[in-house]
Structure 1
Amino acid sequence: MKISRPFIHSVLAFAIVMLFVQCNKKNNTTEKSAETPAAQATSISGKLPIAYVNIDSLLQKYNYAKDLNESLLRRAENSRANVN
């Protein structure tokens, strides 16, 4: 029992060190690769595409959203009735 504890601690310490090494390698490679596509996108189009969605008008005019909202309200009422 006394011998296995130091062994387990040393294995865990080694695993933690390896995780830090692996995370450091991944961060360095992702930073370099993440900069390249962004630079290419801005040089090709000049601007990054941005889309704005007006949620209020979408919820008012989109029938599927209305139907889902009604079914959610019905389920909430049924759950409330079951609890009572």
Structure 2
Amino acid sequence: MKRINYLAKGILAALVVVMFAQCSGKKTDADESVTAMGVAPSGLKIAYVEIDTLLTKYTFWNDLNEMMMKKEENIRATLNQKARELDAEGKEFQRKVQNNAFVSRERAEQENARLVKKQQDLQELQSRLTNELQAENQKNSLQLRDSINSFLKIYNKKHKYSMIFSNTGFDNLLYADKAYNITNDIIEGLNERYAPSQKKK
């Protein structure tokens, strides 16, 4: 029985040695899949950008956000003012109805129809302005992405990175050596590139 165990262990050891020799001797499909999964081949140059930091320090994006906040405040102020006016007119209408101030029932119905129409117009205005604001926000997001992508192409002509990752919190990179962090370089370059267009204004 012991002899069978020794024999089995000897065969197993021999198989392990043969497999190890084969694996180290030639590149297999498994090797290729390991490389594809992120084990960097020699010479691969990688970096990452912290998107949260970039967005807080990129002047172009901050200017866009400030402009959009002002626009949103203006829309809110306009809608609130119109809503207050409508509310005041509605209360005045109720007061007149209670005091029989309308010369005829037909006149009261006309005034009521006018107020209903005004309320519908206000709802339509709110919907239209909200949709316009959303469309502009989407356009701004595309502009942001295009400006970053455009700059990275120029930046990478000099630095020759094989890959540049984006990182938002822990969404993409669970761990990365700070040596690969090029966020400040990118922010500085983007802001320098944006500065001339500011001077033209």
TM-score (norm 2): 0.24
> What is the match of residue 33 of structure 1?
139
Runs of 5+ in structure 2 lacking a partner?
A: 1-106, 153-189
Q: Which residue identity is paired with 1:21?
A: S
User: Would you tell me which structure has more helix in proportion to its own residues?
Assistant: 1
Tell me the SS of whatever aligns to 2:147. helix
Q: CA deviation at 1:49?
A: 2.5
Q: CA deviation at 1:20?
A: 0.7
Larger gyration radius, structure 1 or structure 2: 2
Tell me the SS of whatever aligns to 1:17. helix
What whole-Å deviation, never above 9, does each CA across 1:3-32 have from its counterpart, x for those lacking one? 211010000000000011111111111111
Distance 1:21 1:37 in 2: 24
Kindly, what percent of the aligned residue pairs are identical?
Answer: 2
Distance 2:194 2:117 in 1: 49
TM-score (norm 1): 0.54
Distance 1:19 1:49 in 2: 35
Larger RCO, structures 1/2 (Cα 8 Å, 6+ apart): 2
Tell me the C-alpha RMSD between the 2 structures: 1.8
**Structure 1 moving runs of 4+ over 6 Å:** none
- Count of aligned pairs between the two proteins: 53
Q: Does 1:14 align with 2:159?
A: no
